[in-house]
Amino acid sequence: MVQRPDETPTDTATTATATGIAGEVWRLPARGFATFVAALPAPMTIGTVTLDDGSDVTGFLVEPYAVEGAEDITHHGGWRAYREQPAGAPA
């Protein structure tokens, strides 16, 4: 998981490690998923994410080129935990 300088923290295959991060699994009807994907701005994308139990789900990712040089924030355990850090706290 990385923090792009001016964006929401994102997960990408280029930063995949054995370290897990907290996530959410949502169930959407096909029509809702299609609407979501159609509105997804570049460089966001859809891909496969492997969960702790070994199952694969369709997930929300970012294209690798978009995170070159971005700060690795995986150690926070998820984007919600990262966002809850007090202002000025070390990343």
Query: Which three-class secondary structure state does DSSP give residue 86?
Result: coil
For 8-18, the pLDDT digits (tens) are 555 544 344 55
For 39-78, the pLDDT digits (tens) are 999 999 999 988 888 899 998 888 988 888 888 888 888 8
Asked if residue 5 has pLDDT above 70, the reply is no
Pairing of strands 44-50, 56-62: antiparallel
Angle 23-26-29 from CA coordinates, rounded to 5°: 160
| Distance of alpha carbon 20 from alpha carbon 34, whole angstroms | 28
The pTM of this model reads: 0.64
| Percent of the chain that is helix, strand, coil (3-state, to 5) | 25, 20, 55
- C-alpha of 43 from chain center: 12
Q: How many CB atoms lie within 10 A of CB 6?
A: 5
